[in-house]
Structure 1
């Protein structure tokens, strides 16, 4: 069982990482990252400018750690590229919790084969697939993505499934 750390606060500046997939990030100071890493904590509760979200502590190949922040979170927190943010991090008490969109849960309830396979996926893979559904801005798109995703799960045609 990893040690638990307490909440840590710091100021960080939004940057854009352009290697591999391009995304906005909040750098985490090395000493803060080291505290969580040594305690075996990867999933965090982040409070960014007063807005709470769940995030994973990411590591850059060139060194350094960061949190990924998407466009919607930036907008919610009133941030943009090169903005400074007040950040508070603490260990996520339920690191395996998933934020499942209601529409996807309803689709899985109606597709037993997709649900059975869904339950074999790792938490990380489930989280990744749920992001695809929940990142849709319109409900109609979430519904469409939910049905398409359930079909791909059931038919073993997800990216990475071998023919």
Structure 2
């Protein structure tokens, strides 16, 4: 599933409006999570996001990180296209976390029992580190804590 390309600007410092017709075509097919492609002046970014509805308007979070990558300012208009998110978790799983979970079936089973949002928050936490070794170290801490029975996301990321 793919939306037509539409033009929009920042709605607030961290979000963009999505035309209701486009958003509802995704939501009606139970696709609240989407892949967003944004183009501005020969630059583009792609990221995973959730369609959010507030006061009959649909929006998507558009982080400062991506705004800076594109060089977008509040008054700028840019092209957006939404795609169906076919990823398992609604975000790309980092190779390091996936490998650590595959090597630890017990921790993997516990991870899979979490809500989709809790899984995504742990994935985003690991993705936040650029260095591959740091990602591996953080994934190992998470799996150790899962096996110890820790379920609170804030406690899961701490080394004991």
**Fold in common (TM above 0.5):** yes
Give me the TM-score of the superposition, normalised by structure 1: 0.72
Match of 1:126 in 2: 119
2 CA distance for matches of 1:84 and 1:56?
A: 21
> Are residues 1:76 and 2:84 paired?
no
Match of 2:158 in 1: none
- Unaligned regions of 5+ residues in structure 2, if any? 155-160
1 CA distance for matches of 2:113 and 2:58?
A: 30
- Unaligned regions of 5+ residues in structure 1, if any? 18-23
Within the candidate set 31, 35, 41, 2:25 is matched to 35
Q: How many equivalent residue pairs?
A: 149
2 CA distance for matches of 1:137 and 1:70?
A: 17
Task: Check the 8 A contact 1:104/1:143 in 2, yes or no.
Answer: yes
TM-superposed CA distance for 1:86, in Å, is 0.8
The 3-state SS of whatever aligns with 2:113 is: coil
TM-superposed CA distance for 1:130, in Å, is 0.4
2 CA distance for matches of 1:105 and 1:153?
A: 15
TM-superposed CA distance for 1:32, in Å, is 2.2
Task: Check the 8 A contact 1:103/1:143 in 2, yes or no.
Answer: yes
> Are residues 1:135 and 2:128 paired?
yes
Give me the TM-score of the superposition, normalised by structure 2: 0.73
TM-superposed CA distance for 1:95, in Å, is 4.8
